[in-house]
Structure 1
């Protein structure tokens, strides 16, 4: 049987930003507008084939509520990668991402691969975090940034594929193939009909909350 690389990923962010909805959309391609908030943590596995090789992801969904914060450190351990999620309609949730990144880096001995997800893009008309602001911060921590929507599926597969590819290449720098070209570092993926930025360059929560 062909061997595969096994990586641990943690989903981090404040409560109600849509971390669980992102995970369920990726694993099962389903969306529940009445998704309940995660208590403590849960995880699901996903295997995928990259041009570079076979990968198995163990994806940990952590609780964002402050009452569970003290337990989060347990789930950071040995993480190879992290997806930091914020709600694009909530500036505070974006500011808290910066706290989560600092905490993550202070706990792990080896810097993980980081991807930032601006979630709930189906509410782009209520965007409270500018694309420039998000891009600038992503650059500062060496992360790619994606806009995502667990409701529509926008960007969901891409963030996990990008993260898996980067982790694989970091571990096997001389064994990667050119068949897959990851998204340019710190690029922001947005809808092509919005002129604010180009697609690759330039500088689930309760229904009433618009969770996704």
Structure 2
């Protein structure tokens, strides 16, 4: 191996270590901030965004329609403009949570996630209307052993996404249990009920679809949650769900359109 090749390898290793250390620093700083806020008994606040755009939006945000035009880019050297928000993902095993998350944050960002037994943490940062929005997404494993992570994942979250597999009735039956667990530790987060794998669900007989839609709508009403049917494979309603959360949190001028047509991705509220 040439000397140049060895230097390139050494640089790559140092860069990977640097990224991992930086991620752990952000994670522990995030936990410290939350523990400090809890000890002070003050809620974590966030501000409404102004309507003027002065920074670079992410491609996902442009695609979602939260920003228009071609805003100019501006760099930030401090965290004074950063709005850090926490989102929790709950649901049974093997329902497509990971695929849903990867579709939103992207493959490269997902590779940098912090993985623990029963819990994955992924960051998604984008720019909108003069501020940096940083979503810290806490994905709780769906097995029984992961229930211990629910309190930490749900505390201080601004939105709780409860997910089920549209092709598996038993996972739909579990959503109320997940909702009750989440509400023990967070009474104010925006509840979202998400049915995954709509591409497979659309191939089921219409009578079966109607039954599942009716039950999902009933559960969403009981949870006072907005209901979305989604597909990570075809990117159906994935970005729209986070767009809905962002618009609701910051009072942005966008509302989701209701769709109750059987055979189409349902949106109900």
Q: 1:151 to 1:86 in 2, by over 3 A?
A: same
User: Retained in 2: the 8 A contact 1:40–1:72?
Assistant: no
Q: Structure 1: 5+ residue runs without aligned partners?
A: 31-37, 169-175, 203-212
Which one has more relative contact order, counting CA pairs under 8 Å at least 6 apart?
A: 1
CA positional deviation for 1:48: 2.9
Counterparts of 1:131 and 1:198, CA distance in 2: 10
Q: 1:91 to 1:201 in 2, by over 3 A?
A: closer
Q: Structure 2: 5+ residue runs without aligned partners?
A: 1-75, 109-115
TM-score with structure 1 setting the length: 0.73
Q: Which residue of 1 aligns with 2:143?
A: 65
Q: Which residue of 2 aligns with 1:84?
A: 162
Q: Which residue of 2 aligns with 1:138?
A: 220
CA positional deviation for 1:71: 2.9
Counterparts of 1:15 and 1:114, CA distance in 2: 20
| Residues 158-173 of structure 1 aligned to structure 2 (within 5 Å) | 158-168=240-250
| Residues 114-129 of structure 1 aligned to structure 2 (within 5 Å) | 114-124=191-201, 125-126=203-204
Cα RMSD, aligned residues only: 2.9
Give the structure with the higher percent helix.
2
Q: Give the paired residue count.
A: 180
TM-score with structure 2 setting the length: 0.59
Which of the pair has more CA radius of gyration?
2
Q: Which residue of 2 aligns with 1:3?
A: 81
| Residues 3-82 of structure 1 aligned to structure 2 (within 5 Å) | 3-28=81-106, 39-50=117-128, 54-82=132-160
